[in-house]
Structures are given as C-alpha cells and as structure tokens.
Amino acid sequence: MADYQLERQSAIDAHGIIGDMCSAALVNDKGSVDFFCWPEFDSPSIFCSLLDTPEAGIFQLAPDLPGARREQIYLPDTNVLQTRWLSDRAVVEVTDLLPIGDSEDDLPVLMRRVRVVSGQVTIHMRCAVRHDYARAKTRARMDDRHVTFAAANQPSLRLSSDQVLRIEDNAAVAEFTLEQDQSAEFLLGGIDDPRFKEGGATLCLERTLKYWRDWSGQSSYRGRWREMVNRSALALKLLTSRKHGAIVAAATFGLPETPGGERNWDYRYTWIRDASFTVYAFMRLGYVQEANDYMRWLRGRVSDCQGKPMKINILYAIDGRQELPETELSHLSGHGGAVPVRIGNQAYDQIQLDIFGELMDAVYLVNKYGDAISHEGWKHAVEVVDQVCETWQQTDVGIWEMRGEQHHFLHSRLMCWVALDRAIRLASKRSLPAPFARWDQTRQAIYADIWENFWNEERGHFVQHIGGTALDGSMLLMPLVRFVSAKDPRWLSTLQAIEKTLVRDGMVYRYRNEDSGIDGLAGAEGAFAACSFWYVECLARAGQVEKAHLEFEQLLRLANPLGLYAEEFDSHARHLGNTPQALTHLALISAACFLDRKLSGEKNNWQP
C-alpha cells in the first residue's frame, strides 16, 4: 500500500513552508501539503488535514517506496522546498513552491514537480480540495484534461498536470510510472491563471529561484551563524504581505501550545507588539525597504485616510481589519486531538498598554536607520505618547494576552517607559517640537514606579505584576530595551531567579501558570522559543559570553531540519504552537547579531 494512503497527522516540526508573500502552505516530510489557506494568509483553508484527517483537505504526492529514507531541504538561499526519498530501488525528489507573481494582486499558485533522480518508480497523487475550512461541500469535476474544484460561495480552483488525471471521491487522483530523469508537474490555482500555459511551470520556477536568491543576497549579515540567520530572514520575508507590508505572526491557526489541550489560537494576523522586533531584524540585516514598508502599514493603523488619529489595537488583519471575532471549528478534531480549533482572535479587543512602547521603538529605529518621520507622522506620535502619559497607571492583560484578571504588569509599565524614552530621544535628535518637561516627568515617574513597586526585596527579584511574586519571561527585555544595565546587581539577581524558575536546559517558559494561576486556561504550555533567545542575549550582555554561546548553539539544534521554529517547545524540545513563528525568528536574529559581535570582540554600535 502506498505511503499516501497511510497518511496520519505529522508532527508540527515535520514541516517546511512555502509561500509567495500572499499566502503560505505547509508541506510535511511525507510529501503532502496538509495546510494551505487560499488565496490570502487569513483566507479559509483548502487543505487542513494537519488539524483533522485527509478528509479536511490534502494534496498528497509520493513515490511507492516503502521504507525509504525521507529528507527535506530548501534549495540554497530560497523558499523553494524539496522533499526527497532515498532507497535501494530509486531516488525521488518533489519540488514545491508558490511562484512569485508579476503583480502583488496575482493569486497564489501551488506548483509541485516530482522527478526521479535514479531508478524507476510508481508515483501516487491525490489532491482533495476542501473549501472553507472543510465546512463547504466541494465538488471535483473534469474540465478537459484539468480538474476543477468548486463550492457554493467559494472561489473555484483548477488542478492542471502533464499526467492523466481522474476523479475519485471528489478528489483528483493519478498513478503513473517515471524512469530516471523523467518528471511530472502539477499546478493548483485560480481557474484562469495564465501560469497554467505550457512551459509556464519551468519559467515560474526559474523566476522564483532568482527572486529569493536576489533577495537573500542583500543581507549584510556576515557572522558565524549566517545560514540560520538567513533562513530566519527568508521565513520572515515569506510571512510578509507583499501587498500590504504587514507581517503575520505565524502561517497557521489551531496548532496547540499544550498537547491535546485548549491553548489553540489563530496567529495569521499582525501584532503591534512585534513592531520593534520586526524593524530591528530587517534593518539589522540590511533590509531597509521591508522595515519602511512595515512602518507605512503601521502608520495606516495609527491614522485614517484623512490623517485623523485612530484607536490603536493590539493586532490587525493584514489588510488592516480591526475586528477578528473568534469562531470554533467544532467539526475539526484538532492536531493530536487538541480542541477547540479556533479561527479569528478575540484578543483584538483586549487592552495592552505595552503596544505603545513597541510602536514608538519602531518609529525611533526607522527614523534613525530608514525613512525620517514626516510632519504628520510626528503629530500622530505626539498623540500616542500623550495617551501613554494619561494611561500608564492603568491595569491591562499584559504582553501574553491573559484571559483572566487584569493587573499592573511589569512589562506593560516597562514599555510605557520605552514609549516616552524613544519619543524624547527622537524629538531631541530631530529638534522636533514636544512637551519635553511633561514627557520627562512622566518617564521619571514610570522609572521610579518600576523600581519601587515591582522590585520584591524579600525575594530579591522583580515580579510579574504588582501584588504578585511570580517571574515572567518578558522581564528578559528589561536590559534589551535599555531600561536597566545588563550588569546591574538587581537585574543579575532577577536573571538568576529566572534561570532557577523559568529555564529548563536553555528553554525559557513565559511564566509558570500553575503557580501564578492568572492566564485563565487549563493545562501548562511549553517553553517559549522567543524568550529562550532573549535569554541568550541577556547572558551575552551580562558578560557571560561563553554560557550564552553554548545556550545559543543548543537552541539552534532545536530547530526543525529546515531551520524553522514554532512558538514553543515541549519537555522533549519538540515543537508546539503555530509555525513558523515570526517572533521566534526575530529573536534569533537579534541574539545572533549581538552574540557574534561579542565573540568577535567588536563594539556593538547598532543600537538605539
């Protein structure tokens, strides 16, 4: 029996990602596309077997080689994925990509090419499109040599191939034999896409390879972890909307943070909290245009088309939509039985005061290394900072979007300080008009509040929120945003407490929810990958360079075979949560850049 007939849910880290900066698809190491939302990142899925069974949609393409060794690689410096089978009888490779279109409005096309490198082998293909998260009834029908997939009120798709297709159980199937150096191609996309013409696939592949290699070649990073840093940059670029400039937090929804648990969220949106990390990572690697594009998207969230200020949300759809109500997909069984599977994210209506700091940090960095802020832009920035002056003493849900009781969170207070600090610095450097006395007075008040109300003398460390005693992984940002010296005795005491409480073999937990009991959800989540890379950078800044180097190398080994990271790690360092996670790769880039400079003995001048 062929491998594709035995398909089961693959592990989260057994996937590569392909994309065209409009949408993205996950390909497992069995050669199946088991997750694909079309035509946008946050559109309904057409393949969703990763969160259910193949009946929720899958595109299987594999040789009949039982027992073959399987491996996945990216073609160097690209987001073009290759899955390979190696056996005594044959060597087979499947190349997967979403070709880069001529226009930002081109609909994504999934291109799959199978080639026999040596030997002779039978290939099995099954493409089962299931529209609208497998909620709509999709019908497959022959259209000349093609197969069309249609469902009520959903966009139709067409599968084209140079092999003979037939229909079984509302899926396109094919079985054929290839000899050495022979290949077959499959294209799935919009009904009238011009790339379906003969010879179009080869041109698409060549142009897409050139696009990614040209883009990757712009990187200014020349450090010792160039391969991992460039792979992170390519993942971030893939998650960036070509049309809008926004970057989604992850390509997926519903992948569990707790095996079999309820911590299953939709991350196909853009979080303001990631703004400064995004800008820093792109600019640090020389991708100034991407950082400028991202800031233009952010400016559209701060003011309307008439230039009037708007309420700033913590997250948005890539097209700027503000309301993202949650819906449970009760018909899906979840990854590993983790339910409910959710789309949308109700956190859009939460209050998080930290977003102002991340926003102003991004504004400051772009003004320093990219486009200078405009007159209108500065007016909006002043309004944002004035709002911080009015609201910094309020409670909120914190950076981790707690669904329990609101508190005075340290990280929120810290980022309010950052908002004022960066605004004052920017105004001073650019001689911009600002209420310096009031801003500085508020900045000093926040500074004093943090030292007086978030330092626990008895325990000898900072605490997560006023009235509590718990630690929090977000504290690792305190020296990174330059609030406290990385060698300050109180900070080093806090770092030691974090190591004792939240760090397990270099993997850092955001918090111990079983101790603090504040996130309002059952079960314990995994270690947070971004916090783990923040920890490395904190060690390096504290002068513990050898320890930081070792911890960083260990974290690099926890990537999947393709160099990708999800949101979290379980106790065995297997991946948990949505994938690939932008924040993780942003933190990796930051840690790699700083640590490389420390190891090389260079002075780190690239700082705010």
For 251-279, write each residue's pLDDT tens digit.
999 999 999 999 999 999 999 988 889 99
Residue scoring higher pLDDT (574 or 404): 574
371 pLDDT band, cuts 50/70/90, is: confident
68-to-92, 122, 123, 311 alpha-carbon distances in Å: 10, 14, 14, 56
What's the confidence (pLDDT) of residue 309? 59
Is residue 356's pLDDT more than 60?
A: yes
Report the mean per-residue pLDDT for the chain. Answer: 94
Amino acid identity of 600?
Answer: S
Average pLDDT over residues 506-516: 79
Tracing tokens 């819906």 back to the chain, one arrives at: 327
Give pLDDT, residue 270.
96
Confidence label for 202 from pLDDT (cuts 50, 70 and 90): confident
Mean pLDDT confidence for 364-391:
93
Cβ pair 446, 417 in contact under 8 A: yes
What domains are there in the chain, each with its CATH number? 3-192 (2.70.98.50), 226-600 (1.50.10.10)
| Mean pLDDT, range 425-437, rounded to an integer | 97
2: pLDDT strictly greater than 80: no
pLDDT score of 4: 44
Could you report how far apart the first and last alpha carbons of the chain are, in Å? 59
Place of tokens 């309820």: 262
pLDDT at 446: 98
pLDDT band at residue 522 using 50, 70 and 90 as cut-offs: confident
Query: Who's near 437: CB < 8 A, 6+ residues apart?
Result: none
Taking the CB of residue 308, how many other CB atoms lie within 10 A of it?
9
Residues 29-68: tens digit of each pLDDT? 999 999 999 999 999 999 999 999 999 999 999 999 999 9
Confidence of residue 513 (pLDDT cuts 50, 70, 90): low
Paired strand residues for 176:
123
Q: In this predicted structure, what is the pLDDT of residue 200?
A: 74
What does the alpha-carbon distance between residue 421 and residue 327 come to, in Å, rounded to a whole number?
39
Least confident residue range of 68-82, 216-230, 273-287, 409-423: 273-287
For residues 308 and 531, which has the higher predicted lDDT (pLDDT)?
531
Helices 375-391/410-430 angle, 10° precision: 150
For residue 449, the model assigns a pLDDT of: 98
What is the model's pTM? Answer: 0.95
DSSP 381: H
How many CA atoms are closer than 13 Å to the CA of 542, on its beta-carbon side? 26
Residue 213, both tokens: 């290699």
Q: What's the whole-number mean pLDDT along residues 475-502? A: 98
CB neighbour list of residue 104: distance below 8 Å, 6 or more residues apart: 22, 242, 243
Q: Is the pLDDT of residue 207 over 80?
A: yes
How far is CA 111 from each of CA 41, 47, 204, 562, rounded to the nearest angstrom?
A: 17, 15, 9, 20
* Per-residue DSSP letter, 152: T
DSSP 14: S
Quick one: pLDDT at residue 451?
98
Predicted pLDDT at 302 = 79
**Alpha helices of 249-328 — where are they, by DSSP H?**
275-284, 288-302
Which neighbouring-strand residues pair with 432?
Answer: none
The set of residues, in sequence order, having a beta carbon less than 8 Å from that of 173 and lying 6+ positions away, is 124, 125, 126, 127, 165, 166, 167
Does pLDDT of 604 surpass 60? no
Q: Smallest Cα–Cα separation from 252: which of 98, 59, 47, 509?
A: 47
The confidence score (pLDDT) of residue 563 equals: 98
What is the model's pLDDT at position 43?
Answer: 98
Output 62 or 201, whichever has higher pLDDT: 62
Q: Is the model's pLDDT at 605 over the cut of 60?
A: no
The percent of residues above 90 in pLDDT, for the chain, comes to 87
User: Residue 301 — pLDDT band, cuts 50, 70, 90?
Assistant: confident
Whole-Å CA distances, 52 to 57, 58, 463, 574: 9, 10, 40, 20
Mean pLDDT of 412-425: 98
* pLDDT reported for residue 1: 32
Q: What is the pLDDT of residues 547-594, one digit of tens each?
A: 999 999 999 999 999 999 999 999 999 999 999 999 999 999 999 999
- Give the DSSP per-residue string, 334-386: -GGG----EES-GGGGS--TTHHHHHHHHHHHHHHHSPPPPHHHHHHHHHHHH
Q: Average pLDDT of 97-118?
A: 95
What does the pLDDT read at residue 321?
A: 94
What's the pLDDT score for residue 305? 57
| C-alpha–C-alpha distance, residues 65 and 124, integer Å | 11
